[in-house]
Amino acid sequence: MPTPARPLSFASAPVSTEETRALLQERIALYAKTAGLVSYAFLFVGNALAVLLSPRITPTMVLQHPPAYWHLAAATLAVAVWLVTRRGHLEHRTLFALDVGATLGPMAGYGIMAAVANARPEERLDLVVLLIALMTLSMRATIVPSTSRQTAVVGSLASLPVLGVAWQLGERTGLNPGPVLYSALWCVISVIVTTLSSRVIFGLRERAAEARRLGQYVLMDMIGEGGMGTVYRARHALLRRPTAIKLLPAERLGAETVARFEREVQNTSRLTHPNTVAIYDYGRTPQGIFYYAMEYLEGVDLQKLVEQRGPLPESRVVHVLVQVLGALSEAHAAGLVHRDIKPANVVLCERGGVLDTAKVVDFGLVKDVSPGGDATASNVDALIGTPMYMAPEAITSPASVDARADLYALAAVAYFLLTGHTVFEGNTVMDVCAQHLHEAPVPPSERAGRALDPGLEALLLKCLEKNPDDRVQSARELSRALLDLPIRTWTEADAQDAWVDWTAPPESSAEPTALRVSLDARDDQFLSPSK
């Protein structure tokens, strides 16, 4: 059974998504606008120069010259196509018709312009129209995304006015079929060249689009970069859902890195708490790039928020902590210890119309302590975390770290939110770690220079105890204790006031990063207090 012929339309072009359809409409608008403005420029500048340089030509003669009307009509038709395509949503078949109209319509006008000019044969207006056709088709091939088949059809139709003018010239001079054959030869050459140009440009566009596509996701722009890969804002090609894509480039591939990357996505996907970032998909491209798609959070992390706005009010801090503790409670119940709780890994955003929704992100350093957990992968004998927020046991005995280390880190985050300073500050990583081991924290009210709720301060200092047994023992217990404090509730109106004039700050280069140090290679001098 023969295969039915495929109708000529933009379905053969890369328009399988709304994005490519919109691009097509935008490019046809640009093509029509450019063609119209260039034509207007030739009309007015050419006639102005004719009046200025030739004493025999007057403005009245120009205004009464019939070819000028047809030139004006051709330019106006192109501009009309631009006005139609510059806004709104046009379907593929409509776009195809407008593409043909923006090319064939003006070319017909130029052909009639030459036909009614009553010029002498030696002026060879057929070559003028041929030159216009070459310029028009080249412009279209460069601007409009099109398959070679479409370009060949549009180019052939646009050549008809050229052949008509050449035939008229041959009839007047009695030289037919010479002028027609000559023009036809050049038309064939121009159609071939522009068709090849479209094929090359179309192919490059497809390759560029493919390079930006990961499965059903199309990459938009980079929004972050770290040791475990690069994060891009992306969009699902069919669902139109904003998404964040984290990539692990091929040059970073290694057994440990890939295992950590896979562990991050697998562990995060096990969690369903609304304050944990959601994972949508995971895969590997044919080029060997690992990626996973997650919820796109259009907001601000706590690090940048404090850097730009300064310390937060107690009520807002408690509001954020309770949400984070909800996410950690689920993770800890599943046997997962985050190990990198820090301000940069808590994002405030809007979800379902609710402002100041906290989301815990980046489970790349998670430790699985569940009975079925992968101890080989998670219990690495190394310093893991961000120094300013590492619990003492994470420094001295990483393999023994449990959920209480996350509570220590979260208390350090709360300290930063209230004071604008980390619990301990030093010139080196070793200095900071030594303070975590041996120094008592300065009460946050002293660092903040303002009175804080005594119960909140005592609770945070309890969570910052060196011995895990002396801390609050669970995320649920800490959450209940925070909610029992006599601190005013952070309301929806408060959140709206806090976000009303918010502008995203520039990317901070001083954001603390996670640390991974082999214990076999470290200097243990900082584990003992200096003499």
List active site positions. 340
pLDDT at 3: 43
SS3 120: coil
- How long is the chain? 531
pLDDT at 178 over 50: yes
Tell me if 47 sits within 8 A of 72, measured CB to CB.
Answer: no
pLDDT at 514 over 50: no
Confidence of residue 506 (pLDDT cuts 50, 70, 90): very low
* 300-527 maps to CATH 1.20.1640.10: no
pLDDT at 484: 92
Confidence of residue 398 (pLDDT cuts 50, 70, 90): confident
Question: Of 323, 377, 372, nearest to 351 (Cα)?
Answer: 323
* Opening angle at CA 467, ends 466 and 471, nearest 5: 95
Question: Lowest mean pLDDT: which of 92-101, 364-373, 381-390?
Answer: 364-373
Q: Report DSSP state, residue 506.
A: P
Alpha-carbon span 191 to 193, nearest angstrom:
6
Tell me the mean pLDDT in the region 232-253: 75
Mean model confidence pLDDT for the chain: 80
pLDDT at 520 over 70: no
Question: Lowest mean pLDDT: which of 126-135, 215-224, 431-440?
Answer: 215-224
pLDDT at 43 over 90: no
Confidence of residue 1 (pLDDT cuts 50, 70, 90): very low
In 334-470, which residue ranges form alpha helices assigned H by DSSP?
375-378, 392-396, 403-419, 429-438, 444-448, 454-463
pLDDT at 253: 64
Tokens of 476: 């649920």
Tokens of 86: 């510059």
Tell me if 189 sits within 8 A of 130, measured CB to CB.
Answer: no
Place of tokens 């609304």: 274
Q: Fold identical between 214-295 and 300-527? A: no
CB atoms under 10 Å from CB of 150, counted, come to 23
Place of tokens 């379902």: 352
pLDDT at 401: 87
Confidence of residue 214 (pLDDT cuts 50, 70, 90): low
pLDDT at 530: 40
Q: Report DSSP state, residue 250.
A: G
Tell me the mean pLDDT in the region 221-231: 74
Extents of the domains making up the chain: 10-211, 214-295, 300-527
Top CATH class of 214-295 equals: alpha beta
> Who has greater pLDDT, 11 or 393?
393
Confidence of residue 231 (pLDDT cuts 50, 70, 90): confident
Q: Which of 107-111, 154-158, 359-363, 413-417 shows the highest mean pLDDT?
A: 413-417
- Sign of the Cα torsion 314, 320, 321, 322 reads positive
pLDDT at 5: 41
pLDDT at 382: 58
Radius of gyration of the chain (CA): 35
pLDDT at 10: 37
What are 127-131's contacts with CB under 8 Å, separation 24+?
A: 127/183, 129/161, 129/162, 129/165, 130/162, 130/166, 130/183, 130/186, 130/187
Q: Which of 86-90, 254-258, 367-371, 420-424 shows the highest mean pLDDT?
A: 420-424
Tell me the mean pLDDT in the region 316-337: 93
pLDDT at 316: 94
| H, E, C per residue of 276-332 | ECCEEEEEECCCCCEEEEEECCCCEEHHHHHHHHCCCCHHHHHHHHHHHHHHHHHHH
pLDDT at 266 over 90: no
Q: Each residue of 84-95: b (16+ CB within 10 Å) or e?
A: bbeeeebebeeb
Tokens of 445: 């009210």
pLDDT at 225 over 60: yes
Q: What are the C-alpha distances in Å from 273 to residues 318, 328, 364?
A: 18, 9, 18
pLDDT at 172: 74
Q: Which tens digits make up the pLDDT trace of 103-144?
A: 999 998 888 888 888 777 767 778 888 888 889 888 998 888
Tell me if 295 sits within 8 A of 239, measured CB to CB.
Answer: no
Name, in order, each residue with C-beta under 8 angstroms of 3's C-beta and a sequence gap of 6 or more: none
> Who has greater pLDDT, 250 or 258?
258
pLDDT at 518: 40
pLDDT at 496 over 70: yes
Tokens of 108: 């017909």
Q: Which tens digits make up the pLDDT trace of 476-488?
A: 999 999 999 999 9
pLDDT at 406 over 50: yes
pLDDT at 6: 39
In the chain, the amino acid numbered 383 is L
In the chain, the amino acid numbered 529 is P
Tokens of 2: 């023969």
Q: Residue 158: in which H helix or E strand, if any?
A: helix 148-173
Tell me the mean pLDDT in the region 328-336: 91
Percent of the chain with pLDDT over 90: 27
Tell me the mean pLDDT in the region 4-10: 39
Alpha-carbon span 443 to 125, nearest angstrom:
90
